[in-house]
Amino acid sequence: MRPTDFARLLTEFFNNYLQKQRNVSPNTIKSYRDAFRLLLVYLQDKGIKPEKVSMGTLSPELIQEFLAWLEVERKCSIASRNLRLNAIHSFFRYAQLDSPEALLNYQRIMAIPVKKKPSAIVSHLSPEGVRKLLEQPNRYTANGRRDLALLSTMYDSGARVQEIIDLTAKDFISGSSAVLVLTGKGSKTRRVPLMMNTAFILKQYVVENRLDAPHRMDWPLFTNHQHRKLTKEGVAYILKKYAAQASGISTDVPERIHCHMLRHSKAVHLLQAGVNLIYIRDFLGHCDIKTTEVYAKADTETKRKALENAYPELVDPNLPNWSDDTELMRWLSSL
């Protein structure tokens, strides 16, 4: 069977453009792959087999129907919908160089806008909540000591969960000024300092598991029972387990928690300590200061809620009902 122009372009897009020309991260490639896998599933549901899909099949109207299908049928969030659209935009930016005669159709697809999503307040733990969470692992067991080192490192470094599970033993540099070398989005690396307590816990964990041996420097820093590096699901399971324990004894820890919440908590705590947003941006590995500004908004929201709680004690809430003043109402009506 002769391959279609879509099959040829998609193969070149992944093998040449993304990997060799753009040098994008493996996670980005996986995300783009999932977007086109879902697109092929959608087309198959419509009776179009994957081997029959051509560039002419992909009209702007069809792409918009696919995006609606993601939200309605697949129950995807707006963020996930926009992520799939970004992959499609990137593909058609590449494809337009190959087929100038189809430029108008491709540009119409590239003009499909991302969907605006409501800005949510960043969820984070208080310093007391973080302390309660880190008190839960059992320090008398090997798994408990690993979990303590894992959660302490996640919070103190403000790392993304993927950055944590990608850590190797050599990425932890101990000493009087301990640092962690993180590899983030776009394979960009950054060095973040660790507080003394976290560095001590992590050093003890490394020594206990003999990860400081020269031949183990490329081994994963955090592993599961099979001695393989942890997965995102594994880290989420560990975090939720201790959050459930902590929430039973303290209201500072919510029952529902996610891995990014520790990263959010570190950022907000740095901001509350008076650290400049520029430094927090570099610490978290953000490319744009606007991404970091959401933490300033989160801190402002915390202060607003505190003022609202104090407000009834300062001002009598039993204010007069102006609609009862007939003279005033008559005067307002005459204006």
- Burial classification of residue 221, based on how many CB atoms lie within 10 Å of its CB (0-12 exposed, 13-18 middle, 19 or more buried): buried
Q: Where are the alpha helices (DSSP H) in the chain?
A: 5-12, 26-45, 60-72, 78-95, 103-110, 127-134, 142-157, 161-165, 196-208, 232-247, 260-272, 277-284, 289-314, 326-333
Residue 27 phi, psi dihedral angles, 5° rounding: -65, -35
Q: Dump the DSSP string for 198-244.
A: HHHHHHHHHHHTTTTSGGGTTSBSSB-TTSSBPPHHHHHHHHHHHHH
pLDDT by residue (tens digit) across 280-321? 888 888 887 777 777 766 666 555 554 455 444 444 445 555
The whole-number pLDDT of residue 328 equals 66
Q: Could you list the pLDDT tens digit for every one of the 335 residues in the chain?
A: 678 999 999 999 999 999 888 888 888 899 999 999 999 999 999 999 999 999 999 999 999 999 999 999 999 989 899 999 999 999 999 999 888 788 899 999 999 999 987 665 678 888 999 999 999 999 999 999 999 999 999 999 999 999 999 999 999 999 888 999 999 887 789 999 999 999 999 999 999 999 999 999 999 999 998 889 999 999 999 999 999 999 988 888 988 888 889 999 998 888 888 888 888 888 888 887 777 777 766 666 555 554 455 444 444 445 555 556 667 667 767 75
User: Using CA of residue 68, residue 71, residue 76, residue 81, what is the dihedral sign?
Assistant: positive
CA distance 265 to 282: 16
The whole-number pLDDT of residue 130 equals 93
Burial string for 42-66 (b: 16+ CB within 10 Å, else e) reads bbeeeeeeeeebebeebeeebbeeb
pLDDT by residue (tens digit) across 167-201? 999 999 998 889 999 998 877 899 999 999 999 99
Nearest Cα to Cα of residue 134 among 125, 39, 142: 125
CA distance 266 to 158: 6
Paired tokens of 323: 């609609």
| Ordered domains of the chain (ranges, CATH) | 5-110 (1.10.150.130), 127-310 (1.10.443.10)
CA distance 259 to 192: 19
Hey, what amino acid is at 272?
A: Q
pTM of the model: 0.65
CA distance 95 to 99: 7
The set of catalytic residues is 160, 185, 260, 263, 286, 295
